[in-house]
């Protein structure tokens, strides 16, 4: 990779990781490399054997993520990185490779504060002596506060210092997809061996086990087999075990049988430390460090939104050449995070109701399959606001909008960004909705 593209490509990769599931990223997108930026065309290189599949299935996602970093004018070309691709679509086996952990999610990069001190200490203890400290370790907290970071940090630590210990990270979505595939392929024994022959299993988003009866049953037996063998289990959720009411009692009891550690939203000092560490890690050149204070004061919900705001400011700096100072930070954030009142957490439902009222629609119309213009633009704007203001993942937002996929949400966010930048009326609609949501919360 050419040196001048390293920072830009790192930011695009961060967008990609947030746009797709971890298993999809590792299987198809982690191997992508940037070859060149030719005018407004970003040439991305994919392995020869997967280029056709990536171009067919993920080109829109890659395009949207590149546009989020480089601006709406950029286009993406996916080139082959070597020999011509094989005919047909590749079918790599997701059970054949070891887990790859996010290199940014390490203990060294985790910023400790009052809201996460216990969870960090417990995670480090588990990483140092798997199966002996706290088993299971159950981490819970709202989206974007560091649960996945700590789970990847445990995995990376064990993989590096665990002297041959087998460690695997998986989300409920990936576990479910692999389980269903194993059922169809009649390869359940291989699936069971894949998960039960581990020394450390990191299982994220366990709240999504609810309403998945067969997956829940299989995970129950996997949990028991690993626990009985002395393997370490680490679980991540947005709720504590007792609040997962749709899960069977026997599973909730097992979740709560070890250490349950909550992770809260970071305070101002922690938010500022997170921004400083991220800016240092990414080599961001600050004209005035007070720009970070502006971001830390405006964004109080979660770490994901905090880092997303920093990326937004850096991207604006890259596109305009303006220095990263408090004035730039305020200008970039004013539309979504006004300084007049403190930001408070909104839900996707709040945003849907406010948007529907603003455009004289019903919520049912907003989330419907309708493609008429009077519905499409409000829906895109509502998805954009949901991504910016709630901390929900793209798949979660898609589900809330009639079961749409993450690529549809990402495309809606890209189109909305382009429209509010070019259309004063669209920008006014954004500001009006943001004010409505703020006033509703404050009232």
Asked if 306 and 292 sit in the same domain, the reply is yes
Q: In the predicted model, what is the mean pLDDT of the chain?
A: 83
Asked if 249 and 313 sit in the same domain, the reply is no
- Confirm whether 107 is domain-assigned: no
Is the per-residue pLDDT at 344 higher than 60? no
Asked if 179 and 258 sit in the same domain, the reply is yes
- All residues at 6 or more sequence positions from 221 whose CB lies less than 8 Å from its CB, including other chains: none
The arithmetic mean of pLDDT across residues 249-261, rounded, is: 90
Is the per-residue pLDDT at 345 higher than 70? no
C-alpha torsion sign, points 203, 206, 208, 211: positive
Using pLDDT thresholds of 50, 70 and 90, give the confidence band for residue 90.
very low
In CATH, what number is assigned to the domain containing residue 9? 3.30.300.180
Alpha helices in 299-423 (DSSP H): 303-320, 326-333, 348-358, 363-366, 373-389, 394-400, 406-422
Last residue of a domain, one of 206, 240, 262: 262
Instruction: Give the 3-state secondary structure of residue 305.
Output: helix
In CATH, what number is assigned to the domain containing residue 297? 1.10.8.60
Preceding amide of 136 cis, omega within 30:
yes
Higher pLDDT, 378 or 304: 378
Continuous segment of H or E residues that includes residue 280: helix 268-282
C-alpha torsion sign, points 113, 117, 121, 122: negative
DSSP string of 141-196, one letter each residue: -STTSSHHHHHHHHHHHHHHHSTT--EEEEEHHHHHHHHHHHHHHT-HHHHHHHHH
The residue with tokens 């400083």 is 276
Last residue of a domain, one of 239, 262, 285: 262
Asked if 355 and 279 sit in the same domain, the reply is no
List, for residues 260-308, the tens digit of each pLDDT value.
999 988 888 888 998 998 888 878 888 898 999 999 988 877 787 888 8
Is the per-residue pLDDT at 136 higher than 80? yes
Asked if 192 and 319 sit in the same domain, the reply is no
Contact at 8 Å (CB) between 309 and 298?
yes
Give the number of other Cβ atoms within 10 Å of residue 442's Cβ.
9
Asked if 150 and 280 sit in the same domain, the reply is no
Asked if 249 and 272 sit in the same domain, the reply is no
Give the number of other Cβ atoms within 10 Å of residue 94's Cβ.
16
β-pair type (33-38, 41-46):
antiparallel
Asked if 367 and 303 sit in the same domain, the reply is no
Contact at 8 Å (CB) between 48 and 81?
yes
- Confirm whether 370 is domain-assigned: yes
List, for residues 29-83, the tens digit of each pLDDT value.
888 888 877 777 888 888 876 777 788 778 888 888 888 888 777 888 888 765 4
Asked if 179 and 273 sit in the same domain, the reply is no
Asked if 258 and 311 sit in the same domain, the reply is no
The rounded distance, in Å, linking the Cα atoms of 35 and 33 is 6
- Confirm whether 106 is domain-assigned: no
Q: How many domains does the chain have?
A: 4
- Confirm whether 290 is domain-assigned: yes
The arithmetic mean of pLDDT across residues 121-136, rounded, is: 92
The rounded distance, in Å, linking the Cα atoms of 290 and 296 is 10
Asked if 239 and 133 sit in the same domain, the reply is yes
Contact at 8 Å (CB) between 334 and 434?
no
pLDDT at residue number 298: 86
The rounded distance, in Å, linking the Cα atoms of 373 and 352 is 17
pTM for this prediction: 0.60
The residue with tokens 């600050």 is 286
The rounded distance, in Å, linking the Cα atoms of 307 and 14 is 10
- Confirm whether 102 is domain-assigned: no
- Provide the terminal-to-terminal Cα distance of the chain, rounded to the nearest Å: 52
- Confirm whether 288 is domain-assigned: yes
- Confirm whether 381 is domain-assigned: yes
- Confirm whether 420 is domain-assigned: yes
In CATH, what number is assigned to the domain containing residue 125? 3.40.50.300
From 388, 22, 13, select the one nearest 205 (Cα to Cα): 22
Which contacts of 332-335 are long-range, i.e. CB under 8 A and separated by 24 or more positions?
333/294, 333/295, 333/298, 333/299, 333/309, 335/420, 335/427, 335/430, 335/431, 335/434
Asked if 141 and 191 sit in the same domain, the reply is yes
The rounded distance, in Å, linking the Cα atoms of 13 and 31 is 10
Is the per-residue pLDDT at 147 higher than 90? yes
- The pair phi, psi for residue 400, each rounded to 5°, is -70, -20
Look up the domain containing 362 and give its range: 348-442
Using pLDDT thresholds of 50, 70 and 90, give the confidence band for residue 119.
very high
The arithmetic mean of pLDDT across residues 6-18, rounded, is: 78
pLDDT at residue number 86: 41
Is the per-residue pLDDT at 89 higher than 60? no
């Amino acid at each position: 990779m050419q040196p001048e593209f390293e920072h830009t490509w790192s930011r695009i990769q961060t967008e990609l990781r947030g746009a797709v599931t971890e298993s999809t990223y590792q299987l198809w997108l982690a191997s992508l490399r940037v070859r060149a930026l030719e005018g407004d065309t970003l040439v991305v290189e994919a392995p020869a054997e997967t280029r056709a599949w990536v171009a067919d299935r993920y080109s829109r996602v890659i395009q949207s993520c590149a546009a989020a970093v480089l601006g709406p004018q950029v286009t993406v070309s996916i080139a082959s990185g070597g020999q011509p691709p094989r005919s047909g679509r590749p079918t790599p086996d997701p059970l054949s490779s070891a887990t790859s952990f996010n290199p940014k999610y390490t203990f060294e990069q985790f910023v400790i504060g009052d809201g996460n001190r216990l969870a960090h200490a417990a995670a480090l203890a588990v990483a140092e002596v798997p199966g002996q400290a706290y088993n299971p370790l159950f981490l819970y907290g709202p989206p974007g506060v560091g649960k996945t970071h700590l789970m990847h940090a445990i995995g990376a630590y064990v993989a590096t210092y665990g002297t041959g210990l087998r460690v695997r990270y998986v989300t409920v979505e990936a576990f479910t997809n692999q389980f269903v595939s194993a059922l169809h392929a009649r390869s359940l024994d291989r699936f069971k061996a894949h998960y039960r022959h581990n020394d450390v299993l990191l299982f994220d988003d366990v709240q999504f086990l609810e309403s998945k009866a067969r997956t829940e049953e299989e995970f129950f037996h996997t949990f028991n087999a690993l626990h009985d063998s002395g393997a370490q289990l680490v679980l991540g959720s947005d709720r504590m075990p007792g609040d997962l009411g749709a899960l069977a009692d026997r599973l909730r009891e097992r979740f709560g049988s070890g250490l349950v550690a909550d992770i809260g939203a970071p305070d101002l000092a922690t938010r500022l430390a997170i921004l400083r560490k991220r800016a240092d890690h990414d080599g961001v050149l600050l004209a005035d460090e007070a720009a970070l204070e502006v971001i830390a004061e405006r964004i109080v919900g979660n770490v994901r939104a905090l880092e997303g705001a920093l990326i937004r400011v850096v991207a604006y700096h890259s596109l305009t050449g303006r220095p990263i100072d408090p004035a730039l930070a305020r200008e970039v954030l004013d539309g979504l995070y006004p300084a007049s009142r403190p930001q408070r957490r909104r839900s996707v439902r709040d945003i849907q109701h406010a948007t529907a009222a603003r455009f004289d629609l019903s919520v049912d119309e907003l989330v419907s399959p309708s493609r008429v213009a009077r519905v499409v633009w409000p829906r895109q704007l509502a998805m954009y606001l949901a991504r910016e203001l709630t901390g929900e993942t793209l798949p979660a937002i898609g589900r809330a909008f009639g079961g749409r996929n993450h690529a549809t949400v990402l495309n809606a966010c890209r189109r909305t960004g382009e429209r509010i930048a070019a259309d004063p009326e669209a920008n006014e609609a954004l500001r009006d909705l943001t004010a409505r949501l703020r006033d509703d919360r404050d009232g």
